[in-house]
Structure 1
Amino acid sequence: MNFEINKNYYGFKLLEEKKIDDISSTVRLFSHEKSGAKLVSIENSDDNKVFSISFKTLPDNSTGVFHILEHSVLCGSRKFPSKEPFVELVKGSLNTYLNAATYPDKTMYPVASKNDKDFRNLMDVYLDAVFYPNIYKYPEIMKQEGWHYEINNKEDELKYKGVVYNEMQGVYSSPESLLFRGINSNLFPDTPYGFDSGGDPDEIPELTQEQFLNYHKKFYHPSNSYIYLYGDMNIEEDLKFIDENYLSNFDKVDLSIEIPAQKPFEEMKEKFTNYPIANEESEVDKTYLSLNFTIGDVKDRELYLAFDLLEDMLLETSASPLKKALIDSAIAKDVFGIYNNGSLQTSLSIIVKNSNEDKKEKFKSVVFETLQDIVKNGFDKNLIEAVLNAKEFELKESDYSSYPKGLVYCEKVLGSLLYGGSPFQNLEFNEVLNRIKNNVHNGYFEKLIEDHILNNNNSLLFMVIPQKHLAEEKIKEDREKLQNYKKSLTKEEIEKLIEENSILVKRQSSPDSQEDLEKIPLLSIEDVKKNLDTYNTIVKDLDTYKILYTELVTNGIDYIDFYFDTSYVNQEQIPYITLLSYLLGRVDTEKYSYEELSNEVNKNTGGIDFDAEAYSNLDKIEEYYPKFIIKGKALHTKSESLLNLIFEIINSSKFDNHKRIKEILSELKSRIEMIIVSGGHRIASSKVTSYYSQLGEYLETINGFTFYKFLVEVEKNFDDKKDQFIKNLLEVSESIFTTNNLIVNLGSSKEDYNELSNNIENIISSKLKVNNNEKIQYKFELKKENEALVTSSKVQYVAKGYNFSKFGFKYSGKLQVLRTISNYDYLWNNVRVKGGAYGVFINFRRNGNMNITSYRDPNLSETIEVYDNFYKYIENFSADEREMTKYILGTISTLDTPLTNSMICDRQAVLYISNIDDDFLQREREEILKTKVEDIKKFAALIDKCMRENYICVLGGKDKINQNSNIFGSIVNVFN
């Protein structure tokens, strides 16, 4: 329909409207006249609709009140009084996205769904949650989600407990998290950004219930809200619904919630913080150094995009001059940058990792001398062109993986509207990009460096420095603080705390009433598509390889992937496959230096990526297919250039620049260390799978903790053993890059396929040979190692698992329903709600591997006990028809996530390699849809047998691991 400016639509006055061709959408800005709420709608043909309501939330302390509110408002509301409507929606909705997030200056509640009825239900629950939460009725909500004193008997030690408290304990164990928080707080000390909106564990226990409620009253008013609608929908109906059910109940108020700009510094500041390392670790090469600059107002459209490009030029490519200068200087082993454009004032951070405090002056001089040289002599024009083309490709492709496109646009809208700017600003990129392009050869980027970095006193040198014994000292300090507090309490006060804990536990343990559960809107099974989405993929058999082709609507982009069989690599050389994947594209080739290669890739393609992976065989649990994967994409007019670059890299890469190789190995080690600290659940899960699965051990060898330890040894001994290292690389490369069992996976338009296929056949025939060697059947010696991996973390990641096929159990789609039930009922309630962990996950693989893993968990043995008793819950499982419908819907939603073109290509290749066809997937879908209570109960024996095998791995803190040392076969320090 046609909308008119200044006309009122169900209480919403249309202020602005604009057709934005850059995103093929019509964007409108409304103001709700009675309540003062702002609403932006983006109308287009996308059937994956997005709704979000956000609030400007400005912290004035670091108690994490807005983070705790984000969790707490989703724990029951006026219309939906069950304890956790959010969880009920996760396990019983067709949502394609459902979450909430706390940022330094806003809190966002986004949902997405392709189903109209489901979309309205989600919107209703979220609006009721934020405006009418049950936090005013039940103080136990803040205690559970935020913090409380845990004590069950008067003899017990007093402890802090709470979901957000434990989450932030994990966050504050990560040096990267401390780095980013320290940069924000010290670069903007006189603004809300000077506080930690997520919460500092030392300050979280200072938050009172009264303060908690007062923050909600002030900040969660519609006058401070930003509502967002996206996709193919009847906007009038949604406006009417939002007005009649919610906003019409509120009157506009003047809240004056404004973000102040940071006052200019007179000179660069210097600050530091410490982070804990294990006592056995060396402090050498463990410091983070960063130089940080306040850039400008986020509403400056051109500056916003220009610095995004400049950060790429300086720090994000192999040809980036600042990154190269810092690596060459031997100050550090890893370099990266952050352009923060999510605040009122944007900022640029130049960061080096694995350095030392005594290198700070050299760090500064290298940065400033390099930037001065760029200003004087200019950027390499090929680098400018490469970065501009890469950014343009990224913006035009709009491939946001599993993150809904509508949510990306929501963040772009808020990135200006929240600060008083236009909602259209960050959605219109072509005009600004063209303006920048037209000026780049007139010293455009060089002047940005001069004005905003070299001549900028609004700057900060910030360091994160390792400190031994810090973790133990903190544990001791907290324990003494709690002991002293307990001593200060009267007998009556202790009894009151025990009673409050008892009330909390009772609330956590009590099931919701049927009446409350039925108030949450629910679709029926009839609302679910009975048939899965299928894609038109054909297979072309050639002499020694195959071409898979999937017809797509790609806007002129070709997707070209190569899956090389790595079964010809000797078993002892398997880890070199991953090393090769990281080196390719980053070292010289016969035709290009690595800097020139980087520019050529960015000028002509949408990127070339290399990876090592393995895929299971659906029918044979110990059989799997190891692959080396090359993924590339380019406009069809440049697909020949993409192919030439791929084959230049795999056939002509040179490994004679030892200095360069060592730099790359150090960077890879640094990046894996970040993953270990922030993603301990993945490390523990991979390790435990390697104890009982041949595939698991292979994957652990190429990308798990085992690979990390291998990498540490390679880097340490590289100078002495470089000749052997390079020999291994060359042998592995020669074994992989042949036509033997090669699968070429293509995605393109029907019109472009024939030309693309012919080009590929021609280049393969001229550039690849056949390998006449025999395939190698890898055989790993599997052992129940039950390791404890010790870090300086204050929380644990507890993994346990086994392969159920070894007991004769067959995979069924019904196991995915059990996964939904487990993740959001038994495990959620016992590990997260009662145990205080931030998360817990169970997975059932089609090859029989199953794992349970907790995330940021304050417990260890208690969590293992929950896992071990899981079978009892399944034995006694009961659910009425409505509950089973809910579990089935939640399971189907994980299958029906919208896929981008690149994701479709990946899916088709993986299914083909794993011998999974559409008939199997349809059967799996039907098994899910037909799951009954009796089916779930039959899985009790499966879980019991797997848990009794007692395969365990835990990554976590020394204190907790030592308390439970009897559980482990060995205790290993993660970092040296």
Structure 2
Amino acid sequence: MSLEIGKQYHGFKLLEEKEIKEVKGMGRLFQHEKSGARLFYIQNQDNNKVFSITFRTPPKDSTGLPHILEHSVLCGSRKFPLKDPFIELAKGSMNTFLNAMTFSDKTMYPIASKNEKDFVNLMDVYLDAVFHPNIYQQPEILMQEGWHYELENTEAEIEYKGVVYNEMKGAFSSPEQMLFRKIQESLFPDTTYGYESGGDPEVIPDLTQEQFLGFHKKYYHPSNSYIYLYGDGDLLAHLKFINEGYLKDFNQIKVCSEIEIQQTFKSPKVSEVAYPISANEKEENKTFLSLNFTIGKSTDPELYLAFDMLNHLLLGTPAAPLKKALLESDLGKDVFGSFDSSILQPVWSVVVKNTNVEEQERFQVLVFDTLKKLVKEGIDKRLIEGVINLHELKLREADYGRYPKGLIYCIKCMDSWLYGEDPSLHLAYEVNLEKVKKALDSHYFEALIEKHILQNTHRSLLIVKPEIGLANEWDTKTKQELADYKVSLSDEEIADLVAQTQHLRDYQETPNSEEDINSIPLLSLEDIEKEIEEISLEEKSEEDTHVLFHPSFTNGIAYTNLLFDTTAVAQEEIPYIALLSYMIGKVSTEKYSYEELSKETNIATGGISTKLETYSSDKNRNEYYPKLIVRAMSLVEKLPKLFELLTEMISASQFDDNRRLKEVIRETKSRMEMSLMQEGHMIAAKRSVSQISTVGKYIELTRGVSFYQFVSDLETNFDEKLPEIQQKLKNIAGKIFVKQNLLVSVTTEEKDYPLFSTEFKSFVKVLKNEELQKHEYHFDLEVKKEALLTSSKVQYVAKSYNFKDLGYEYSGHLQVLKTIISLDYLWNRVRIAGGAYGAMAGFMRNGNMYFVSYRDPNLRDTLKVYDEISEFLKDYQTDQREMTKYIIGTISNMDAPLSEAMKADKATHYYISGITKDDLQKERNEVLSTTLEDINILRNLVEETMKQDNYCILGNEEKLKKNADQFDELINVFE
């Protein structure tokens, strides 16, 4: 397509046009002359199209106004007046991404779809939402999404309720999240970054309706917007649609939303904040120490790229010198770093976890002494080479998992565009990558350390320390404030508050009108592909080893997965399998120290990692296949070196370095603690499933609370257990890394397979060749009502069972039921009415199913909601349009776009589990043909599973103890 610079196209003046070869596209920058809107369009051949509209939204306090508004504008608009168009789109569109995001200084509304018609429909709903939301007509929206006073009756206690309020209570329950949220506050006391854009739960109730509407009026204008489009869409048609549907109605205005610069500190600052721990936990060794530095501006593309690499260089690998120095000092038990470049003044942080307040001086001295030594003596060039290679390979691969690459590019664009610079500044990375490569033969990184860290007075020391009873103190303070508020009210005002609570409930429970529902555009089933997408898989044999080959275009990259069966390991040793997976690649081998191994791996590959995967049989619900997977990626020409490194890790790992074993165990425990607090819903769901499922029990022993407790015990009693740890790891490695246990999956182009074959044959000859006895595991399963006690301010409520145990079979209809329950019933009852951040359902092919809530203020009420699902289904009625919507939403999830490596993983999963093409087509046919009768029939399945009363709740220790009659057992998660 040929466009002319300076010419207007549907109200948009083309300002600039240039090729961006790094994203294989043409970038065009436009200005909408009437409204002042900016628009950047990257046109290429990617059919996963992305649209986003972003507003610069600097907060002036910590009420969470930008975050609450992000939720609220998606609760109905001028053209789409129903209460929840966002959830209607989630139910019934073919989106490949649908969400909204609040950053420190901007609010982003992105969508993605491969279907052009669907893409325009999604754009339409989002544009109407941000420019013409119902918040001006419906004050209930702020009450629901932000906060409100809840008073059931005149005798009850007043409570705070609200979706964002509870979301942020959950966020502030995690010490890691609290740490990173307070870092900006410590560095930017005089600018917008000193406020919590997500909302501080203690401040959120200060937000008024007037402030809420005023923020939207000020910032949600086209003149303050940044519109982004990406992919193979029709550029001119999209410009016409946006202009005629929306922008032509606005006149350009001046919006004062510029981000101010924090003046440089003349001397470093110290900040201290407390976080809650449970009554049974020890305060010792639970402090976080963080040194934080502002690093130039995000509009400096070379510094932006280089410091991301420097962070990895100093803290991101086992060979990272700063990480190594801090761990060896025994300052703390875990070390990590971050480089936040999505703000005007980026921030680099180095964090020591599980330390003590009195170590703060030694921490600072050690950081600066180590960095000074690196500047003086120089950084190992092989370490630099490895980090540059790793980043370059990741940049060229551009694989962001389930996130559309166009969305990641959008976020990168905003890191410069929002601050008045070229939106392609960080996408066109080649020039700056070449500049950074000077580090291979100069003191490039050493100079960065000297200038931006050692000579930088704009830094802070943040101390995040534990405090027993703090959660109760917060709760008591909140209850007292609410009690005092109630006392201050007249009888009439109290009656009004009860009426307001009921009014909000009536608003929430009143169904949308059929007319409003029908306003949301909908595809037809004719727009949906009827046949499953086939994923290529060729079975081959190399040296009597089974190989699954996935031929596909990978741009010169080979993805190699080595899947080792683990059933030669005895049942009592199962947790050690997981521990072994954390050790591989992080300990020394016969040929390499662990530092040298890390360098060699980064130089030659795009990464080698290990993970445990448990594949359920599709035919026998009690049968499963546990695998330890070694995953590797490299350029095809680096396969010889890759297999040399794999040989070392698998056949020659050494477990005799006591210090290193202790470091890895401590890090494993630390990272699991983060997961337990940040992914509580999945922890609770897996724990619940483990009580009634053999495969669930195995997963719990290797990835759940049980494994965390196992690792905690090893760390606490390390010296005593050291001989056992060393012997177990050695023995178990010998039972797993055996030729007879191996299945291989490789993804690359057909022409590159012969090189893989040659190198693999050499590798497999090194493996032990012996038949080992395989074990059948027998777990004691028992329905339980279990409580997992933490200092969290919210709950994660999971209830589960196995429907095959009750005589039911899996069908595709269950996936449609999942969509209906998750996005209709649970959304309305647990999120909208209950105030939780979210809730979801899951139905697996092996019969395991669950319902679970996320950041939930409730406990009994949510269990009651689950138990009443069968009643909901009993009376469930819907028309064909609604059923079509649920079917489309279900297919959308099934057809989520996958990278070539992810497709290969899925094909491997099907192969091991015995899921055939016919099975998948049958499931798809059942989804597409689902009727109201099919859904009604499933009522008995849900009712019978819920009657088993098998559940697990992870949450606030005081709340769980007060409801102790609900549980068979209460378990303290943390020490």
Work out whether residues 191 and 260 of structure 1, in 8 Å CA contact, stay in contact via their aligned partners in 2.
yes
Q: What amino acid does structure 1 have at the position aligned with 2:921?
A: Q
Counterpart for residue 843 of structure 1? 842
Question: What is the CA distance between 1:184 and its match in structure 2?
Answer: 0.5
1:899 aligned onto 2:898: yes
Instruction: Give the match's secondary structure for 2:495.
Output: helix
Supply the distance in 1 between the matched residues of 2:700 and 2:401 (Cα, whole angstroms).
25
Question: What is the CA distance between 1:469 and its match in structure 2?
Answer: 0.7
Work out whether residues 887 and 927 of structure 2, in 8 Å CA contact, stay in contact via their aligned partners in 1.
yes
* Deviation string, structure 1 residues 822-846 (Cα, Å, up to 9, x no partner): 0011111100000000000110000
Counterpart for residue 361 of structure 2? 361
Counterpart for residue 259 of structure 1? 259
Instruction: Give the match's secondary structure for 1:369.
Output: helix
Give the unaligned 5+ runs of structure 2: none
Q: What amino acid does structure 2 have at the position aligned with 1:606?
A: G
Q: What amino acid does structure 1 have at the position aligned with 2:94?
A: L
Work out whether residues 794 and 855 of structure 2, in 8 Å CA contact, stay in contact via their aligned partners in 1.
yes
1:74 aligned onto 2:98: no
- Please show how residues 750-765 of structure 1 align to structure 2 within 5 Å: 750-764=750-764
Counterpart for residue 239 of structure 1? 239
Q: What amino acid does structure 1 have at the position aligned with 2:791?
A: S
Supply the distance in 2 between the matched residues of 1:850 and 1:671 (Cα, whole angstroms).
27
Instruction: Give the match's secondary structure for 2:326.
Output: helix
Instruction: Give the match's secondary structure for 2:740.
Output: coil
Supply the distance in 2 between the matched residues of 1:198 and 1:45 (Cα, whole angstroms).
36
Counterpart for residue 824 of structure 2? 825
Question: What is the CA distance between 1:536 and its match in structure 2?
Answer: 1.9
Work out whether residues 546 and 741 of structure 1, in 8 Å CA contact, stay in contact via their aligned partners in 2.
no
Instruction: Give the match's secondary structure for 1:632.
Output: strand
Work out whether residues 553 and 748 of structure 2, in 8 Å CA contact, stay in contact via their aligned partners in 1.
yes
Supply the distance in 2 between the matched residues of 1:350 and 1:893 (Cα, whole angstroms).
40
Supply the distance in 1 between the matched residues of 2:427 and 2:107 (Cα, whole angstroms).
21
Counterpart for residue 93 of structure 1? 93
- Please show how residues 822-901 of structure 1 align to structure 2 within 5 Å: 822-901=821-900
1:913 aligned onto 2:912: yes
Supply the distance in 2 between the matched residues of 1:789 and 1:109 (Cα, whole angstroms).
36
Supply the distance in 1 between the matched residues of 2:180 and 2:155 (Cα, whole angstroms).
41
Question: What is the CA distance between 1:438 and its match in structure 2?
Answer: 2.5
1:50 aligned onto 2:53: no
Work out whether residues 784 and 949 of structure 2, in 8 Å CA contact, stay in contact via their aligned partners in 1.
no
Supply the distance in 1 between the matched residues of 2:907 and 2:899 (Cα, whole angstroms).
12
Supply the distance in 1 between the matched residues of 2:298 and 2:721 (Cα, whole angstroms).
50
Counterpart for residue 548 of structure 1? 548
Work out whether residues 535 and 551 of structure 1, in 8 Å CA contact, stay in contact via their aligned partners in 2.
no
Supply the distance in 1 between the matched residues of 2:298 and 2:140 (Cα, whole angstroms).
39
Structure 2 CA distance for partners of 1:944 and 1:461, relative to 1, 3 Å: same
1:793 aligned onto 2:792: yes
Instruction: Give the match's secondary structure for 2:520.
Output: coil
Instruction: Give the match's secondary structure for 1:515.
Output: helix
Supply the distance in 2 between the matched residues of 1:361 and 1:259 (Cα, whole angstroms).
34
Counterpart for residue 520 of structure 1? 520
Supply the distance in 2 between the matched residues of 1:771 and 1:116 (Cα, whole angstroms).
55
Supply the distance in 1 between the matched residues of 2:813 and 2:936 (Cα, whole angstroms).
11
Work out whether residues 149 and 159 of structure 1, in 8 Å CA contact, stay in contact via their aligned partners in 2.
yes
Q: What amino acid does structure 2 have at the position aligned with 1:224?
A: N
Question: What is the CA distance between 1:771 and its match in structure 2?
Answer: 3.0
Question: What is the CA distance between 1:256 and its match in structure 2?
Answer: 2.1
- Please show how residues 90-489 of structure 1 align to structure 2 within 5 Å: 90-489=90-489
Work out whether residues 836 and 853 of structure 2, in 8 Å CA contact, stay in contact via their aligned partners in 1.
yes
Question: What is the CA distance between 1:439 and its match in structure 2?
Answer: 4.4
1:587 aligned onto 2:570: no
Counterpart for residue 774 of structure 2? 775
Q: What amino acid does structure 2 have at the position aligned with 1:888?
A: I
Question: What is the CA distance between 1:421 and its match in structure 2?
Answer: 1.0
Supply the distance in 2 between the matched residues of 1:913 and 1:442 (Cα, whole angstroms).
50
Q: What amino acid does structure 2 have at the position aligned with 1:620?
A: N
Q: What amino acid does structure 2 have at the position aligned with 1:781?
A: D
* Deviation string, structure 1 residues 891-938 (Cα, Å, up to 9, x no partner): 000011111121012111111010011111111111100000000001
Question: What is the CA distance between 1:741 and its match in structure 2?
Answer: 4.2
Q: What amino acid does structure 1 have at the position aligned with 2:892?
A: S
Counterpart for residue 963 of structure 2? 964
Instruction: Give the match's secondary structure for 1:153.
Output: coil
Question: What is the CA distance between 1:664 and its match in structure 2?
Answer: 0.7
Supply the distance in 1 between the matched residues of 2:538 and 2:748 (Cα, whole angstroms).
12
- Please show how residues 924-963 of structure 1 align to structure 2 within 5 Å: 924-963=923-962
Supply the distance in 2 between the matched residues of 1:327 and 1:755 (Cα, whole angstroms).
40
Supply the distance in 2 between the matched residues of 1:5 and 1:755 (Cα, whole angstroms).
49
Supply the distance in 1 between the matched residues of 2:147 and 2:740 (Cα, whole angstroms).
58
Counterpart for residue 742 of structure 1? 742
Work out whether residues 783 and 948 of structure 2, in 8 Å CA contact, stay in contact via their aligned partners in 1.
no
Question: What is the CA distance between 1:8 and its match in structure 2?
Answer: 0.5
Instruction: Give the match's secondary structure for 2:295.
Output: strand
Q: What amino acid does structure 2 have at the position aligned with 1:962?
A: K
Counterpart for residue 657 of structure 1? 657
Work out whether residues 537 and 550 of structure 2, in 8 Å CA contact, stay in contact via their aligned partners in 1.
yes
Supply the distance in 2 between the matched residues of 1:554 and 1:740 (Cα, whole angstroms).
29
Supply the distance in 1 between the matched residues of 2:945 and 2:757 (Cα, whole angstroms).
47
Supply the distance in 2 between the matched residues of 1:718 and 1:496 (Cα, whole angstroms).
61
Supply the distance in 2 between the matched residues of 1:364 and 1:115 (Cα, whole angstroms).
54
Question: What is the CA distance between 1:191 and its match in structure 2?
Answer: 0.7
Question: What is the CA distance between 1:298 and its match in structure 2?
Answer: 0.9
* Most deviating of 661-670 and 778-787: 778-787
Report the TM-score when normalising by structure 1: 0.99
CA RMSD of aligned residues (A): 0.9
Instruction: Give the match's secondary structure for 2:31.
Output: strand
Supply the distance in 2 between the matched residues of 1:916 and 1:269 (Cα, whole angstroms).
59
Instruction: Give the match's secondary structure for 2:412.
Output: helix
Work out whether residues 384 and 439 of structure 2, in 8 Å CA contact, stay in contact via their aligned partners in 1.
no
Supply the distance in 2 between the matched residues of 1:439 and 1:709 (Cα, whole angstroms).
44
Q: What amino acid does structure 1 have at the position aligned with 2:898?
A: L
Question: What is the CA distance between 1:973 and its match in structure 2?
Answer: 1.1
Supply the distance in 2 between the matched residues of 1:518 and 1:903 (Cα, whole angstroms).
36
* Deviation string, structure 1 residues 491-518 (Cα, Å, up to 9, x no partner): 1111111121111111111110101000
Instruction: Give the match's secondary structure for 1:82.
Output: coil
Q: What amino acid does structure 1 have at the position aligned with 2:793?
A: K
* Deviation string, structure 1 residues 943-970 (Cα, Å, up to 9, x no partner): 0110000001000002211221111111
Work out whether residues 294 and 345 of structure 2, in 8 Å CA contact, stay in contact via their aligned partners in 1.
yes
* Deviation string, structure 1 residues 48-100 (Cα, Å, up to 9, x no partner): 00000010000000000111100000000000011100000000000000000
Q: What amino acid does structure 1 have at the position aligned with 2:780?
A: E
* Most deviating of 429-438 and 311-320: 429-438
Work out whether residues 795 and 956 of structure 1, in 8 Å CA contact, stay in contact via their aligned partners in 2.
yes
Work out whether residues 545 and 741 of structure 1, in 8 Å CA contact, stay in contact via their aligned partners in 2.
no
Supply the distance in 1 between the matched residues of 2:159 and 2:372 (Cα, whole angstroms).
54
What percentage of aligned pairs have identical amino acids? 51
Work out whether residues 544 and 742 of structure 1, in 8 Å CA contact, stay in contact via their aligned partners in 2.
no
Work out whether residues 544 and 741 of structure 1, in 8 Å CA contact, stay in contact via their aligned partners in 2.
no
Work out whether residues 735 and 771 of structure 1, in 8 Å CA contact, stay in contact via their aligned partners in 2.
no
Supply the distance in 2 between the matched residues of 1:474 and 1:95 (Cα, whole angstroms).
41
Q: What amino acid does structure 2 have at the position aligned with 1:531?
A: E
Supply the distance in 2 between the matched residues of 1:320 and 1:329 (Cα, whole angstroms).
14
Supply the distance in 2 between the matched residues of 1:740 and 1:862 (Cα, whole angstroms).
51
Supply the distance in 2 between the matched residues of 1:178 and 1:626 (Cα, whole angstroms).
36
- Please show how residues 10-49 of structure 1 align to structure 2 within 5 Å: 10-49=10-49
Question: What is the CA distance between 1:541 and its match in structure 2?
Answer: 4.0
Instruction: Give the match's secondary structure for 2:781.
Output: coil
Report the TM-score when normalising by structure 2: 0.99
Question: What is the CA distance between 1:542 and its match in structure 2?
Answer: 5.5
Supply the distance in 1 between the matched residues of 2:725 and 2:258 (Cα, whole angstroms).
58
